Chain A
Amino acid sequence: MPPVAPRSGDAIFASVERVNAELFTLTYGAIVRQLLTDLEEVEEVNKQLDQMGYNIGIRLIDEFLAKSNVSRCVDFKETAEVIAKVGFKMFLGVTATVTNWDAEGTTCSLVLEDNPLVDFVELPDTCQGLYYCNVLSGVIRGALEMVSSYLNGRLGLSVDNLVSMKTEVTWIRDMLRGDDAFEMQVKLVKQVPEEYPYKDDE
Chain B
Amino acid sequence: MANTACFMIVSKNDIPIYEAEVGAAPRKEDAAHQHQFILHAALDIVQDLAWTTSAMFLKGIDRFNDLVVSVYVTAGHTRLMLLHDSRNDDGIKSFFQEVHELYIKTLLNPLYLPGSRITSSHFDTKVRALARKYL
Q: Which positions in A face B, CB cutoff 8 Å?
A: 22, 26, 28-30, 32-33, 36, 119-125, 127
Chain B residue nearest to A176 in the complex (CB): B111
Report how far A121 CA is from B110 CA in the complex, Å. Answer: 7
Report how far A121 CA is from B111 CA in the complex, Å. Answer: 7
Is chain A's interface secondary structure helix, strand, loop, or mixed overall? helix
Residues of the B chain whose Cβ atoms lie less than 8 Å from the Cβ of A122: 106, 109, 111-112, 120, 122
Rounded to whole Å, the gap between the CB of B18 and the closest CB of chain A is: 14
Q: Are B111 and A127 closer than 8 Å at their CB atoms?
A: yes
Residues of the A chain whose Cβ atoms lie less than 8 Å from the Cβ of B108: 22, 26, 119-120
B54 at interface, CB cutoff 8 A: no
Chain B residue nearest to A30 in the complex (CB): B110
Q: Are B110 and A124 closer than 8 Å at their CB atoms?
A: no
Q: Are A124 and B119 closer than 8 Å at their CB atoms?
A: yes
Q: Are A32 and B111 closer than 8 Å at their CB atoms?
A: yes
Residues of the B chain whose Cβ atoms lie less than 8 Å from the Cβ of A36: 111
B28 at interface, CB cutoff 8 A: no
Report how far A28 CA is from B108 CA in the complex, Å. Answer: 12
Q: Are A120 and B105 closer than 8 Å at their CB atoms?
A: yes
Q: Are B110 and A123 closer than 8 Å at their CB atoms?
A: no
Rounded to whole Å, the gap between the CB of A125 and the closest CB of chain B is: 7
